[in-house]
Chains A and B, each alone.
Chain A
């Protein structure tokens, strides 16, 4: 589904990812773990197409298409969803307006019919209920004045509405208390499907207790230095990343 080969990415002339290779088949959840500065967030941003993230070499194929050929919004319409570690506040734009604009822009690009306002509201109500999001909150400007937990629940709401084929979750657990972590993880788990892949980027093993990965990869200094099953996360939690630092050099 997502196939990254020998990806080298630099930001402001500094090389962050140095030949990263990774395959995530449909239906699987892979976790990327690594220390600060390893390039975890860079990977998410580069895949989503953030400006100033220069792809020096390598390829990224997504469902048989070259992802790097596409603009940011085209990647989203193709089914890629990056959940930000710190979702941005969009002053002046009510969450509902933002969601409907995004959904219909994606549908239009895919040649699908736009969703009508009543159908859209019905769908939002259903999803909001499961995520314990008040409809009044959705009338407020997106993320403005929302708590960390509310912002993350809004992210899950967007995933559920936009129904992407592939999710990249960047440090989704940051800023969440235990209860919020459960609501958010339940929301993410509900989206697990045979035709959907996920890449979960995290510092800590904690999130992976809730969202169980099929594979775990260790990212150190811009490269994957070790891959294994979910037991690898436990080992990292016990022993830390230091022992891998040498392997990356």
Chain B
């Protein structure tokens, strides 16, 4: 369940004893950066009527010390919503962005989140999957450095038959940064024909950087196809050798493959102009990432 948070009421803050907040200590972050009058609060309901197509592109580069966003997306039958988010926040910011997505039969919800983290940053998406041909994609990439923290939490609840969910998350962490990925896909009893695939691939570039990954598939239906893969490690040595064999020195090959690591997530964005903007954000952000 999505935790209801009132930023001015500390008693509403989740604690680390709650499973979904185990790796992200909001109370502590808000003690360091106490909410004052310049808290940026945003609440919005977005409805995409049946059969319509909407693309939403949000670049968050606010320097507000505390951000709380609370969104609700409702899709009609056969509606399509693509949500692209760039989180380019200050290293002092505490930000919590939560959203609930209600899909409908035959609808398509695609989300792409690109983040460089913040002092504390939580991006949380809860999807109620309507099945019946509905398609949900929850992709993302993160590039974290210094002491930044980024928490990507997604929940997809397949409550009816024939729903598709795809997820590709890629990330790089260095210095003393921390990434948290909590991806949970629940397939309820009777949600047969569900096809759900989750992948999380990340590189830790030095000791001292951390990734907490918790991919979960919880399946109560019989006839489903579900898979999850979670790899955290080093660059692909085969690819590295291939590059070197073409004359690229090892250092340069490592830098090239590190910079390229998260780009495939953006390659899937259909709109060419938006894809170019995202790629340029990622290319700028990845400049000083280099896997040894």
Contacts and interface: CB of A to CB of B under 8 A. Distances in A.
B56 interface: no
A93 interface: yes
Interface in B16-45: none
A105 B248 contact: yes
Contacts of B239: 88-90
Interface stretch (B81-89, B112-120, B190-198, B251-259): B251-259
A92 B243 contact: no
A48 B245 contact: yes
A141 B257 CA distance: 12
Nearest to B259: A92
Interface of A: 48-51, 71-73, 75-77, 81-82, 84, 87-93, 98, 101-103, 105-106, 109, 141, 144, 158, 162
Contact of A88 (B242, B248, B256): B242
B264 A141 contact: yes
B271 interface: no
A109 to B, nearest CB: 7
Contact of A73 (B249, B262, B263): B249
Contacts of B247: 73, 76-77, 102-103, 105-106, 109, 162
B241 A91 contact: no
15 contacts: A50-B241, A50-B245, A72-B241, A72-B250, A73-B244, A89-B239, A90-B257, A90-B260, A93-B260, A98-B246, A98-B256, A102-B243, A102-B247, A105-B248, A162-B246
Contact of B249 (A89, A98, A105): A105
A92 B245 contact: no
Contacts of A162: 246-247
Given A92-B264, A102-B247, 12 more contacts: A48-B245, A49-B244, A51-B241, A75-B245, A76-B245, A81-B245, A82-B245, A84-B245, A98-B246, A101-B248, A109-B247, A162-B246
B244 A101 contact: no
B9 interface: no
Interface residues of B, number: 25
Contacts of A48: 245
Contacts, number: 85
B256 A76 contact: no
Contacts of A102: 243, 246-248
Interface string B211-255: 000000000000000000000000011110111111111101100
A77 B247 CA distance: 6
A75 B247 CA distance: 8
A238 B236 CA distance: 41
Interface string B130-156: 000000000000000000000000000
Interface string B57-88: 00000000000000000000000000000000
Given A76-B244, A84-B242, A92 B260 contact: yes
Contacts of B263: 91-92, 141
Contact of A101 (B237, B238, B256): B256
Given A88-B239, A88-B242, A73 B259 contact: no
Contacts of B244: 49, 71-73, 76
A100 to B, nearest CB: 11
Contact of A158 (B246, B249, B253, B257): B246
B69 to A, nearest CB: 30
Nearest to B249: A73
Contacts of A158: 246
5 nearest CB pairs, A to B: A92-B260, A92-B263, A76-B247, A106-B247, A72-B244
Nearest to B267: A141
Nearest to B279: A92
Contacts of B259: 92
A52 to B, nearest CB: 9
A125 to B, nearest CB: 20
Contact of A90 (B243, B249, B252, B262): B243
Contacts of B253: 73
Given A51-B237, A90-B242, A93-B256, A73 B248 contact: yes
Contacts of B238: 88
A24 to B, nearest CB: 19
A92 B261 contact: yes
A73 B264 contact: no
Nearest to B261: A92
A141 B238 CA distance: 16
A105 B260 contact: no
B260 A91 contact: yes
Contacts of B243: 90, 98, 102
A70 B148 CA distance: 41
B203 to A, nearest CB: 12
